[in-house]
Amino acid sequence: MRKLNLGERFRLGFIINTSFMAFEFVIGLLTGSLALIADAAHNLTDSVTLVISWIAEKMSKKPADSTHTLGHGRIAIMAALINGTILMTTAVMIFFEAYQRFIHPLQIQGGVIAVTAFVGIIANGAVALLFRRFRSDLNVKAAYVNMAFDMFFSIAAMVAGVLILITHQTWIDAVVGLGIGVGLLYAAFGIVRQATTIFLEGVPRDVDIKEVRSAIRSHPGVAKLSKLYVWAIDSDDYAACCIISPSNNGHRQTEATRKELEVILKDLGFNLVIIEIR
């Protein structure tokens, strides 16, 4: 059986997620369940983020040109930043609605919530699996994290439905809605922070700058490391630029040092390496 490419996975994920979102939102309105409405709102943002991620994934593959000499990879990072911001806004809206439900509780049907949430576990889990092996890409990670959290939120909503059915305590629904908002805010903050670090050209979080400096300075052909710049072009491509003083003056030995340092830095995960010798 042919494996789906990333674009096909985005399309299928959008269809599954949007269909369930519409179903869950209608049931939430009919039952008055904040847990279902909050999860449906999150699913709506997921559909939006899937579309944004899908478009960004296609655009980011455009080759470098005269106006974007490093390629278009940061389009995907911009999409991740937009998606993370949407999720944070949604979390704030859920917090407000949960507060309203604590003040003015509604009568809701726990059994309907539990059944609907069970369907959500299947739908969200299926979409999350579509992106599981691509999650090293920050843009795809935003979609994967959203769907994975949705699956866990659906589990929480199902538990809430069962508890409401047994205890008849409707405040449980508001607590679950609040928990969904907290989890959503946490996941969104991580994505926004990582995307912001890339835009501000910070050191990638999985790069040990001390290890990079030590690897350069310990090379026998290096007398001094004057400057070292490390940044991420996008979530998968890292760049390193350094200025060194050679410990020898021979041209051949200097070129050999440069080539050996390039190999060392590429082994450390850098795709683009620039070494200036002074």
Q: Match 């907290």 to its residue by tokens.
A: 182
Give the separation between CA 206 and CA 80, rounded to whole angstroms.
Answer: 18
Residue pair 161/113 in contact by the 8 Å Cβ criterion: yes
CA distances for 115 relative to 15, 35, 112, 158, 178, angstroms: 21, 13, 5, 7, 20
CA 217 to chain centre: 35
pTM score? 0.69
| pLDDT tens, per residue, the chain with 278 residues | 467 777 788 888 889 988 988 888 888 788 776 667 766 776 777 787 788 777 777 777 777 777 777 777 778 788 888 878 887 887 887 788 778 777 776 666 677 778 888 888 888 888 888 888 776 777 777 777 777 777 877 787 788 788 888 888 878 877 877 887 887 788 788 888 888 888 888 888 888 999 999 999 999 888 889 899 999 887 778 999 999 988 876 666 788 888 999 999 999 989 889 998 88
Domains of the chain: 6-199 (1.20.1510.10), 209-277 (3.30.70.1350)
Q: Measuring CA to CA, which residue among 127, 4, 139, 128 is closest to residue 60?
A: 139
